[in-house]
Structure 1
Amino acid sequence: MKTLKRVTLVLITLIMISCNNEDKTLTVEVFETSEAGNKLSKITEFKNAEEKVTIKLKPEEKLQTITGFGGAFTEASAYLLNKLSKENRKKIIDAYFSKDGAHYSLTRSHMNSCDFSVSNYSYTPVEGDKNLEHFSIEEDKDDLIPFIKEAMAASTDGFKIFGSPWTAAPWMKDNNNWVGGKLLPEYYDTWALFFSKYADAYKEEGIDIWGFTVENEPLGNGNNWESMHYSPDEMTNFVQNYLGPKLEADGKGDLKILGYDQNREHLKEWIDSQYKNEETSKYFDGTAIHWYASTFEVFPEELQYAHNKAPEKFLIQSEACVDAETPVWEDDAWYWKKEATDWGFTWAPEKDKHLHPKYAPVNRYARDIIGCLNNWVDGWVDWNMVLDTKGGPNWFKNWCIAPVIVNPDTDEVYFTPLYHTMVHFSKYIRPEAKVIALEKTDDKLMATAAINPDGSTVVVLFNEFKTPKTINLSLNKKNVEFTIDAQAIQTIVIPKNEKV
């Protein structure tokens, strides 16, 4: 009996020793892009920094489900890809869509022309064609559709694509113009049919459309390029009584309808209209937003309000870019400096000028994406994927910057730091990932985290300041210590065998 007790005691002691000696170090991979020159570089050696930050992941607190990250298929980008060598065209498409590249999962395209088209055009050119018997996407077959198909071929997991109209053809509008004006009530049925026909036409090309935004920038754009205006209640009426019922009647009720699709500072009034009651909410699957109201402000109160009003609906950032700037060629340092200005730096009303200071493009992207993820946004879509050295082509000469800049005359390609910034999110945080809560001891260090469907956990950090920081990251009583450089973005991948 005594022998049995001794054996039992020895076993218990050995188990306790084993537990006490269990490895408490968290296994991670760290990828960094920095002002110092790292470009998604895997970091394995770290120098200790004086500033210490503790981050505790809280996987038990799961938040929104990720829809995806990506960019927009525009005629401008497709037109430029047609001018490049086959090698560089493939290089860019693979960089955006392959598993080894950005692995984009959520994309957008314009229906009819937009400012980033070579010219004005409509799929419905015949005036008075109420039944859209002459509807045709022929205009897209030389550039947009081949671009989308090659992206599909490069993607291992596929991606969602939603369409956005900038305007109906002028003949459907009260001002008979590409710019401004409103849809005439007698064409509401015709315009709803337009969406249905677009989905059919693209399906015939082998492209499945995931959904739509009802109208790009329904508040207008200062009467500069293609636009069509709605008030919140006008858009709700169109969706509730025309677009939603039409898609349902045509067997397309699974296509997603996203309302609004403009800047966040006006979000509450649109949310209140869309989700006023069960009848108004029925056909809205979510809301789309843009970032152009500020170069630094995320508008967390508005985002929180939208989520709380309709917690089961999508909240997708559908467009963002460095606007009102011509691209800076092969100068990575510029993208980290606070020298860029946006439209509002010059044109915003005096009361809003404080929202539009000069900014660093990398900072703007990283801050906004993390800020959005920490305030219930489930998808984040960039604007043009490719532009030229002028910031076009754009028929209105509304120059902007894209993550990839090309010189079609010399067949050169420049992947700016904005491309690498996007990859930190799009490649590592996958569709159906769950954003999780975290605690950190430094409010200046930006951080977000998510658990992927494969069980891996991803943390993205952004240190926009000029001093490095030592990070102590913990998950489930395990921790790891590493350093993030000054002015750097890091993605930390915790493999699925670190049980969550």
Structure 2
Amino acid sequence: MKKLFYFLGLILSIQTFAQDKQNIDLFYVSLEKGQAQPLKQIPFTETSEKIRWGHEIKVYPNIEHQTIEGIGGAFNEIGGEALLSLDHKLQREVLQNLFDKDKAGFTFCRTAIGASDFGIDAYSYSETPEDYNMDYFSIERDQKFVLPYLKAALAINPDLLIFGSPWSPPAWMKNNNSMTGLTEKPNTFRDENKVYKAYAKYFAEYVKAYESEGVKINRICVQNENDANTKYPSCTMPPAQMLKLAHQYIIPTFKKEKLNTKVFAGTFRTALNLDMIEFLGMENADKIDGIGLQYTSKSIITDAVRMQANIKMFHTEGHCYNGKNSVEQAEHRLEEAADYINSGLTNYCYWNMILNETTKSGWDWKQNSLINIDREKKTIQYNPDYNAMYILGHFIKPNDIRVASTSHRPMITVKSPDGKVKILIQNTDEKEAPYRLKINGEIRDFKIPAKGITAIVYNLDNKKL
């Protein structure tokens, strides 16, 4: 009988050991070529090879930081037109790849209020001059390409969080009477009480009109790149004027209209000035729901968080590059996302999810996108950036919590409510390399493929995923 108990105990110990060895799963995307389904599960191969300097990963799962809101990209009019050039089956295929929870699973996306630089041309929802009551307000233009694009995405992921921002107020609300900049008269918002009131009503009408179409706008940012004066839709808006517009006009109007859409400052960048830092130093800055930002260095974000630790800050636009959609550009995507999320932001938002075959804006310059659709040939091209964003969206989800971790490689580490720690890391070496993971009292040495992005999923409960 003693021998029987001994053997049963031995078998149980072996099974427990085997289960402990199975508490890590690895997934990988190559960045060499865009693929519709780039994510592959790869073997967890332990190694006794020497671990070189810079190849260690240390995770502290009990040290928690900000709650994640999601990963996604931007809807735009040019992308909607390209998508709708496909038949319904192909449209559905593209959108499932982007929004289905078992695929890229995007959860946090952006849209323009009126024309962005990737609108087909400049337009607003108030084209009648001096229409202070918004009697002629209309989103009819968006019903052709933008709203069908949004609605089709929401049909796949009804929980998709969407935020909007204008590139310019309606032309008549500006001193140059033009939505675009580089004009003889100043490309600025008219500093008049009646115009502030009209613009606040414009935002409210937008939120209500979209909601009547089944598209909930979670938050707005007051002005995209408020320091920009460009040939495409833009408006230079000093931080003090932005705060005045948001605090004294938009927020009270939303409350009066019983709208629960949040009002955020931005989208700020640091191309020319430190407008975000200036804004955060102003009285009543903390009355705004948060800050949206893009093209901002880690040091500036750290300063901003130090100034206003209780204000939510989120990411609004990733590096758009030049339309080359190269492997080299995609190799920097995780690094960029990590810079923002590891600095305390709640999300990462890519710019153009879809563009047409030209990769051009309505103002004739090229930018990158996850997908290019040829409107004549009816073909779909997935770019290397798509692979990078696919693995980010698939593993980083709303309500995940960023946890403390360190590595000399680009990396984001989050913990999900079900107890899984998800480490997204990029082995920047030219060859597969051994790495050492230290987590939860364990030390595990294993190999990570070269160049692409690997997701290490560690189950804190030591159960097979």
- Assess same fold via TM > 0.5: yes
Residue matched to 1:288: 292
1:199-240 alpha-carbon deviations (Å, 9 max, x no partner):
10011111111010110111014x220001111111112112
- The letter for the 1-side match of 2:41 is K
CA–CA distance in structure 1, aligned partners of residues 103 and 17 of structure 2: 36
Give the residue type in structure 1 aligned to 2:237. Answer: Y
C-alpha displacement of 1:141: 0.8
Distance apart, 1:50 and its partner CA: 5.2
SS in 2 for 1:185: coil
SS in 2 for 1:319: coil
Quote the offset at 1:269 in angstroms: 4.0
Partner residue of 2:145? 143
In the alignment, what sits opposite 1:366? 334
Verify: 1:259 aligned to 2:259, yes or no: no
- For residues 32-181 of structure 1, the aligned pairs below 5 Å read 32-35=28-31, 39-44=38-43, 46=45, 51-52=51-52, 53-155=55-157, 158-180=159-181, 181=187
Whole-Å separation in 1 of the counterparts to 2:319 and 2:372: 13
Say if 2:24 and 2:44, in contact at 8 Å, map to a contact too.
Answer: no
Greater Cα offset, 40-49 or 71-80: 40-49
Q: Considering only aligned residues, what root-mean-square deviation do their CA atoms show, in Å?
A: 2.6
Q: Which residue of 1 aligns with 2:24?
A: 28
Q: Structure 2: any 5+ residue segments left out of the alignment? A: 182-186
Distance in structure 2 (CA, Å) of the matches to 1:265 and 1:77: 26
Q: Which amino acid aligns with 2:23?
A: T
**In the TM superposition, what is the alpha-carbon distance from 1:396 to its structure 2 partner?**
0.6
Distance 1:481 1:390, change over 3 A: same
Specify the code of the residue in structure 1 equivalent to 2:304. A
- Counterpart residue identity of residue 54, structure 1: E
Residues 327 and 390 of structure 1 are in contact (CA less than 8 Å); yes or no, is this contact kept in structure 2?
no
Contact 1:326 1:389 in 2 (8 A): no
Q: Paired residue for 2:247, among 229, 240, 247? A: 240
Report the equivalent of 1:415. 382
Residues 185 and 412 (structure 1 numbering): CA distance in 2 closer, same or farther, change over 3 Å? same
Q: Tell me by how many angstroms 1:413 deviates.
A: 0.7
Residues 150, 89 of structure 1: CA spacing in aligned structure 2 closer, same or farther, 3 A cutoff? same
Aligned counterpart in structure 2 of residue 193 of structure 1, from 189, 201, 213:
201
**Structure 1 residues 267 and 247: CA distance shift in structure 2, 3 A:** farther
Query: What residue identity is the alignment partner of 1:227?
Result: S
Aligned partners of 2:237 and 2:188: how far apart in 1?
7
When normalised by structure 2's length, the TM-score is: 0.89
- Distance in 2, Cα, partners of 1:399 & 1:413: 18
Q: CA deviation at 1:59?
A: 1.2
**Residues matched between the structures, number:** 443
State whether residues 267 and 306 of structure 1, in contact with CA within 8 Å, keep that contact through their aligned partners in structure 2.
Answer: no
In structure 1, what is the Cα distance between the partners aligned to 2:110 and 2:189? Answer: 23
For the residue of structure 1 that corresponds to 2:225, the secondary structure is coil
Q: Which amino acid aligns with 1:427?
A: H
Residues 267 and 229 of structure 1: is their aligned pair in 2 closer, same or farther, counting only changes over 3 Å? closer
- Map Cα deviations across residues 353-386 of structure 1 (whole Å, 9 max, x no partner): xxxxxxx211221110112221111111111111
2:366 paired with 1:399: yes
* Aligned counterpart, 1:206: 214
Quote the offset at 1:275 in angstroms.
4.9
Separation (CA, whole Å) in 2 of partners of 1:496 and 1:207: 38
In the TM superposition, 1:9-24 aligns within 5 A as 24=20
State how far apart, in whole Å, the 2-side matches of 1:141 and 1:87 are.
20
Is 1:382 the counterpart of 2:350? The answer is yes
Question: What is the percentage of aligned positions where both structures have the same residue?
Answer: 23
Q: Which residue of 1 aligns with 2:391?
A: 424
2:442 counterpart of 1:478: yes
Cα gap change, 1:167 to 1:225, in 2 (>3 Å): same
